[in-house]
Structure 1
Amino acid sequence: MERKEPNQLEDTVKSLLEKRSMSLRTLGKQTGIDVASLSRMISGKQKANPDYLQRMAVELGVSSDELFRAAGFDVGGTIQRGSVNDSFDFLRELLNGQRFSKQEIEVELAKYEDYARTDEGTNLIVEKFPEKRQQVPGTGPFIEQLDDMYNSFLKSSSDEERCILGSGLLYFVLSTDIIPDYIFPIGYVDDALAIQLAWSRFSLIRRDLGEKE
């Protein structure tokens, strides 16, 4: 994941503050961020904190994407149907080195596979997925892959396929995310990676079946 140069966060924040006749000190109070830390971050002296950017976006009345891009994050590439490993590299950078691993998501998916085999797990997916799906704003590859997974889950008659697809859908539906969904837009990144991992396994199974036929 590449950052754009130069960092435009300072100009963007100053412009937004001016439009709202708001001072940096007021923004600090409203976001609960120390004004000195805020000043260092927007001037580029301190690495941009995703949580701070999200809080600032709320108070400044703009989408968090705008501040993420201004800070140098290539937000447009966060949730794509690309390499899973590339996505994890992006996530580590976005979270400023916070501990996060592919294995953590794989452990959760493995737990959900057994649950997806049960009638209770299946009913939960069918009942809760449409509602949770509506909470995800925007469009794009993540949404397309999410819908493809749900439709494939409903159509598949294979127990193995359904438990793999179901594990990804249960990760999305249940509120046990490694990154909370309310931290938008990055709150859905681990959901997207879980979907990618499950979909990759599903695709391998379908490919293997095709080669045997």
Structure 2
Amino acid sequence: MVEKTAANLEQTVKSLLRQHSMSMRQLAALTGIHVATISKMLLGKQRINPEYLEKIAEHLSVHPTLLYQAAGLKVADHVDKNDHLSLHSYFKDIIDYTGYSSVTLNRQSIMDELLKYDGYAKTSEGKLLIEEKFPEKRQQIFGTGPFIDELDSMYERYIHGEISEKEKMILGSGLLYFVLATDAIPDFMFPIGYLDDALAIQITQERLMEFSKKT
């Protein structure tokens, strides 16, 4: 497991270095971290230091959560709970990193899908489908991070929360998107494969915030 996460981190950092036409020594000079320390950390020969990852992320112009994820760290432990932009920034960095365009992840098309699910989310059939299919699909995700934390929170609120019918409808449409929609990117490419689901969840949270402002 250590070798696997180290390989992921090494691959991610080296890819970002190539994008910036930067050498490891240049990165070391910018961050103030000895080049040998960076190399050992990337190779899994030294314990991952989250503060070092933050410095590296800063000079590679990406959100730190991208490196946390690659290093196998639990992202929720290193992200400010009050930072509502963390989820958006994290997945934006992955989109930029992988080369997927905004055309591939069309916000309006995802919004249209969510609105189509609104009516179904209010029915007993829709609720039953979520209860049956969500746990099954959730078990397929072997990872941690803001997206998964938000997804689990949405499900718990939908099933057990004391919320209004409107809130349940909005949450239900987001969960139905997760279990039913045809993904823009294959899900097996975690975390890349869940980018459209993450955007759907982000839109769902925005809809909930808009609703709360009106009540």
Indicate yes or no: 2:95 matched with 1:106: no
State, as a whole percentage, how many aligned pairs show the same letter.
44
The offset of 1:86, in angstroms, is: 4.5
Relative to the length of structure 1, the TM-score reads 0.59
1:168 to 174, 177, 180: 174
Relative to the length of structure 2, the TM-score reads 0.58
Which runs of no fewer than 5 residues in structure 1 stay unpaired? 1-60
C-alpha separation between the residues in 2 aligned to 1:174 and 1:195? 14
1:96 to 92, 96, 99: 99
1:93-120 deviation digits (Å, cap 9, x = unpaired)? 2442542321121111111112212221
C-alpha separation between the residues in 2 aligned to 1:110 and 1:180? 23
Aligned residues: 149
2:214 to 205, 208, 212: 208
Partner of 1:126: 131
Conserved 8 A contact 1:65-1:185 = no
Check 1:139–1:85 CA distance in 2 against 1; reply closer, same or farther (3 A cut).
Answer: closer
Give the secondary structure class of the aligned counterpart of 2:187.
coil
Runs of 4+ in 1 over 4 A off after TM superposition: 77-81, 83-89
The residue correspondences of 1:63-212 to structure 2 (distance < 5 A) are 65-66=8-9, 67-72=11-16, 74=62, 75-76=66-67, 81-82=84-85, 86=89, 89-90=92-93, 92-98=95-101, 99-100=103-104, 101-154=106-159, 155-209=161-215
Give the secondary structure class of the aligned counterpart of 1:71.
helix
Check 1:136–1:118 CA distance in 2 against 1; reply closer, same or farther (3 A cut).
Answer: same
Using the TM superposition, name which of 200-209 and 82-91 deviates more: 82-91
The offset of 1:166, in angstroms, is: 0.7
